[in-house]
Amino acid sequence: MKVRWTTGSVRFRITPSEMELLRDHRVASVELMVLGDAWRATIIPTKSSTDLSLCCGNLKLSLAFDDIDRLADPSTEGVYFRTKGQISVRYFVEKDFPCIHPKPEEVDETSTETFAAPQGFALRHARC
């Protein structure tokens, strides 16, 4: 899983194996160790509604079974949400597709499994 957060949003980008975990109602997570402390991002399948929370360095997305089913549809690139309250945060889960932009060698990012890109994906994202 790849996680990217910016002011006002957080994106969880999942692999096909992580999608299978979620479809089997199992947890998908990633951990980053920094100076002996851990930062975790976890997606937890749930019967109740989709929700985002943060506690003790664990960013937790409870993802409703219905939203997992929507995400599993081959024509769906992601599912998108917004928190309620005074400070609104956009959060979403997207399938990880092959990168269409070349990366510098210095990035030194290990390759991961990806979903097959849906028709028109490269064209839609070439404008980014």
Domains and CATH numbers, the chain: 2-125 (3.30.1360)
Mean pLDDT of the residues in the chain: 86
**Section 87-91 average pLDDT:** 92
22-51: per-residue pLDDT in tens?
999 999 999 988 888 889 999 999 999 999
The distance of Cα 71 from the centroid of its chain, to the nearest Å, equals: 11
pLDDT for res 51: 95
pLDDT for res 108: 55
* Residue 105 DSSP symbol: G
61-80: per-residue pLDDT in tens?
999 999 999 999 988 989 99
Alpha-carbon distance of 17 to 30, in angstroms, equals: 13
